[in-house]
Structures are given as C-alpha cells and as structure tokens.
Amino acid sequence: MAQFTPHGKHLIGGEWVAGETTFASSPAHGPAHDYAVGSPELVARACEAAAAAFDAYAATSREARAAFLEAIADEIEARADAVTEIGTQESGLPEARLNGERGRTTGQLQLFAEHIRKGDYLDRRTDKALPDRQPAPRPELRMMQIPVGPVAVFGASNFPLAFSTAGGDTAAALAAGCPVVVKGHSAHPGTGEIIAEAVKAAIESTGMPKGVFALIQGGDRKVGEALVTDPRIKAVGFTGSLAGGRALFDLCAARPEPIPFFGELGSVNPMFVLPAAAAARADEIGTGWAGSLTMGAGQFCTNPGIAVVTDGPDADRLVAAAKAALEKVGPQTMLTDGIAKAYREGADRMNRSNAVQPVLTTESAARNASPNLYETTTDAFLSEHQLGEEVFGPLGLVIRVKSADEMERLARGFEGQLTATLHTDAGDAELARRLLPILAQKAGRVLANGFPTGVEVADAMVHGGPYPASTNFGATSVGTLSIRRFLRPVSFQNLPDYLIEGDLA
C-alpha cells in the first residue's frame, strides 16, 4: 500500500499554510503526526478568500461545476491507497469500511454532477405577463434558485470521508455554487489533508477560483465559533453531538445577520416490532437488530438503539436472540478515546438507573467498546428522559409494552428522530396504519421490515428529522435534495430580454 506522510498544513486560498502551533494526532494504530492548529485569524483568511471567490464561482455554468465535482472524485480515487492507509490508522475502521466509504464519497460527487446538469434543482418557474388583465395587469415573473454564499462545513468524527472534507455537505454546497470552508475534525486530520489535496488538484485542473475551498485543521472551540460567526459565511453544515451542535446553532441565530444552521445531531432510531411480526420471526428480528446495533461499533447516527415489543413469549424470544448474538461480538475499536469514554459513561448511567433491567452488561476499556443490552417499561421510559438520549455505541434498550394502545402512546412520546422502523406482517395492518402517521411526524425516514443503518444516497432519501435529530426538519444532509440547503429563491420581475440569459432563459 502507498505510504502517505502528511505535511500538516491548512489549505487557504489555494495555498498550504502552516500554523503557529501544532497538535499531535491520536491514531488507533500507526504513527502519530503533527498538524497545524487552527485559529480565528486563519478562519478569517479562509472566509475572506471564499467571499472573494463567490461571485466568479456562482457565475460558472452548471457544466463547469459538474466537471469540477467529477474531477474531485477522480482525484480522490487517484489517491485511493493512501486514503485507506491514513484513514484506517486514524479511525481504527477496517479497510473494507474505508474503501466503501470512499466509494460513497466519490459517488455523491458524481451524483451531484449529474443532478445539476439536469437543472431541475433550480425549480425555475415563469408566470407570463398579462398586460390586459383587469382590474390590474400582471407583470412577467421568473423565479429561480440561486446560491446563498460561502458555506461552513464541520467534519464528522464517525465518517472521515462521506461526512467530512469532501463529503455530502461539501458536495451539495459546491454543486449549488457556494464556496466551502471546512473545519477538519481532529480525529482524522491526515484523512482530511489528503482529501483536501485532491480538491486542490481539481481546482487547478478545472480552473476554478482558488478560494472556492479551504481546510482549517484542528483548533479549540474558538475556531468553530469564529467560523459560524464570520459575516461572510451564509450557511453551516454540521454533523456531530447535540451539545456541540446546539451551541453552534445558537451562535448562528444570535448573529447580527442570522444564518441557517443545518445540524444533524443524532438519534436513538426506535424500532417497533408489531405483534404478528414478532410471532412470526422474533428470533430473526432480534438477531438482525443485534447486527445493526453493533455495526461499526454502533457508531452510526442511524444506530437503532431502542426496540419496542409487546411483552410476552415473543418478546422473550426477541431479547434472547439479541442477547445471544451480542454475546458473540467482541470488543471493537472506537473512533476516538473521547467517544470510547463517553460510551462507558453512558453504559454506567444505565447500570445505575433503577428504571432499567440489565440483560447483558460488559466491561469496556481504553478505546474499545463491547455491547450492552437493557430492558424497561413504557412508564419508566417516559418518566426518565435520559433513557431516550443517544448513547453513541453498541448499546440497546428493549421497551416492553402491554398493548397496542400503549405502543401508540410510546410512539407519541418520542422526541424527533432521524429514523423510525416498523416490523410488521399482514396481521399487523390495523396497528401499522395507526403508527405510520405518528412515526412520520417523529422521523425523517420511516422503514418497514428492515434496519436503519445504511443511508442510500439517492433523490428520495431524507437524512434529517424534527429536533433534536436535526436543527431543521425541512432539510436533509443526504441525497440530492440536500442541495436546497445552500440555495435561495429569487423572483425576477419584468426583466428586459437582454438580461434573460444563462439559467434564467
């Protein structure tokens, strides 16, 4: 495999820039490297460059931007071995996962290239003039979506490629015509750097403005605060914790010019196992749930942390099958020491709670995590708010309900979610019809007879949901609809023919 030695610099205005201080990476394995520390001053330089690039970049043709996105994808693939090498070292994720995530990352870029070539995202509308209308004539109106301006993107800890430097937020913003300033995640700075190298190469080969993309590495809380409060930033894409995302959201709202903050903040993704489905295949569902729960050490925002099932022998079978499958899962390496520590603290809270009964408890040490499983009742869950809070990792909670009415009451009691799942058979039709509209109000994606881990990048995908799953229930961070976050509609009235050109024509 190719050897990659990072230089540890920021990318600003098309140039690699050293910082005054450095921090050492903390890889799961392999050598540590030093990286420049971000600062508010460097953020200001990157935002200035992005603002300077905006007019020219927004005026590029859809074909030119599509070619730029495809060039980024090609440059990433040209560095495939090096991306996998540094990515596996930093994250502890296996090669197969990194390779798959790289494919998803380049696939997103190519999908957005195809999407903007079609032009449908512009949502162009024309109302022809009616000069003879009574009692007053109607002017000609042309409406079209235009880019909002420079966008800030925060890299995610759990997806070093698909939700980070050139991930979905960056791809959507660049496709829309918006320059991007990325705050790299300190958990995978080398991965961020090599992807930034790919973007830089694509900028140069396609002749795009140098300030159209920047990467600011590391830095403390002040770096993120400086980025979202810089007056040249017009929107923010964020994937991370509820506490961190809410703090940045509040800063965006408090600006003299408030801007939209599109934060994807996590979810417990409840799974409702209806009675007929439980009777037919409780063992299968329990085993499948355990597999989804522990995939990637449970470090997915769509991890189904809660299973709801009617109490009785079928629930016993589901729990027994899940426990048996979880017992076969050994310790898994987590993405960072901090995430592993937070997982242990979450399991400790559950172990100390009088509202749950342990089914399977394990000891997790250092950067590893092992599965934990608990049971509770509807009343206990609804009275203990912390039971509905995400524990990031392979921890599951079974809620045993007494009746269909209680299952409905529980569904209504959930906060906003990224996903909700129904396991249902034909005999569950009446209850499924009762629950479906409730779950649609609670989640951005409702599944039937499956598991939510795995988010398809497609036109019809929604990865978002009511708060606290995300800060904007009308948006998605995955799929082509996500481009709408970085566009705004403008109506043009009675333009003369010589101004009706380009996408307006």
3-class secondary-structure state, position 208: coil
Please tell me which residue in 47, 178, 252, 301 is annotated as part of the active site. Answer: 301
Contact predicate 148/486, CB 8 Å: yes
Strand order in the sheet with 125-127: 125-127, 141-147, 487-493
Best CA proximity match to 79, nearest among 93, 64, 65, 99 = 99
Contacts of 497 (CB under 8 A, 6+ apart): none
Closest CA to 162 of 479, 459, 443, 420: 479
DSSP state of 421: E
C-alpha closest to that of 382 among 410, 421, 354, 358: 410
Condensed to tens digits (0 to 9), the pLDDT of residues 58-103 reads: 999 999 999 999 999 999 999 999 999 999 999 999 999 999 999 9
Q: What is the pLDDT of residue 365?
A: 85
Q: What's the chain's average pLDDT?
A: 96
Q: What is the pLDDT of residue 1?
A: 42
How far is residue 490's CA from residue 493's CA, in Å, rounded to a whole number? 10
Q: Would you state the pLDDT for residue 3?
A: 65
**pLDDT tens digits along 406-448:** 999 999 999 999 999 999 999 999 999 999 999 999 999 999 9
How many residues are recorded in the chain? Answer: 505
Q: How far is the C-alpha of 319 from the C-alpha of 316, rounded, in Å? A: 5
pTM of structure: 0.96
Amino acid at 159: F
Tokens describing residue 502: 């380009």
The pLDDT, as a whole number, for residue 31 is 94
Nearest to 468 by CA among 381, 388, 353: 388
Say if CB 417 and CB 267 are below 8 A apart.
yes
Give Cα 287 distance to the centre of its chain: 27
The mean pLDDT of 347-354, rounded to a whole number, is 94
Higher pLDDT, 2 or 428: 428
Q: Which residue intervals of the chain bear CATH 3.40.605.10?
A: 10-265+470-496
Q: How far is CA 250 from CA 84, 247, 476, in A?
A: 36, 5, 20
The CA distance from 206 to 106, in Å, is 17
Please tell me the predicted confidence (pLDDT) of residue 6.
93
Determine the CATH number of domain 270-448.
3.40.309.10
Q: What residues does CATH 3.40.309.10 cover in the chain?
A: 270-448
pLDDT in tens, 8-19: 999 999 999 998
Instruction: Tell me the helix, strand and coil percentages in the chain, rounded to 5.
Output: 45, 20, 35
User: Which residue, 362, 297, 372, 370, is CA-closest to 335?
Assistant: 297
Catalytic residue among 85, 90, 197, 264: 264
Return d(Cα 373, Cα 407) in angstroms, integer.
Answer: 20
Catalytic residue check, 252? no
Mark whether 264 is an active-site residue.
yes
Amino acid residing at 198: A
- CA-based nearest residue to 469, from 411, 409, 412, 420: 420
Q: Which tens digits make up the pLDDT trace of 281-327?
A: 999 999 999 999 999 999 999 999 999 999 999 999 999 999 999 99
**Residue 318: predicted pLDDT:** 98
Angle between helical axes of 189-206 and 80-91 (0-180°, round to 10)? 150
In order, the DSSP letters of 26-85 are: --SSS---EEEPP-HHHHHHHHHHHHHHHHHHHTS-HHHHHHHHHHHHHHHHHTHHHHHH
Note the pLDDT of residue 348.
95
At 219 the pLDDT is: 83
Alpha helices, H only, 168-233 = 168-176, 189-206, 221-229
Reported CATH class of domain 10-265+470-496? alpha beta
DSSP 155: P
Residue 394: is the preceding peptide bond cis (ω within 30°)? no
Strands 487-493 and 15-17: unpaired
Asked if 234 and 262 touch (Cβ cutoff 8 Å), the reply is: no
Residue found by looking up tokens 């050293």 in the block: 18
- In sequence order, the 6+-apart residues with CB closer than 8 A to the CB of 172 are 112, 237, 482, 483, 485, 486
Q: Which two tokens stand for residue 133?
A: 């209308």
**How far apart, in whole angstroms, are the C-alpha atoms of residue 435 and residue 285?**
19
CB hemisphere CA count around 493 (13 angstroms) = 4
pLDDT tens digits, residue range 32-45? 999 999 999 999 99
The 10s digit of each residue's pLDDT in 133-150 is 999 999 999 999 999 999
Contact 282, 319 (CB under 8 A): no
Rounded Cα–Cα distance for residues 342 and 25 (Å): 19
Other CB atoms closer than 10 Å to residue 502's CB: what's the count? 10
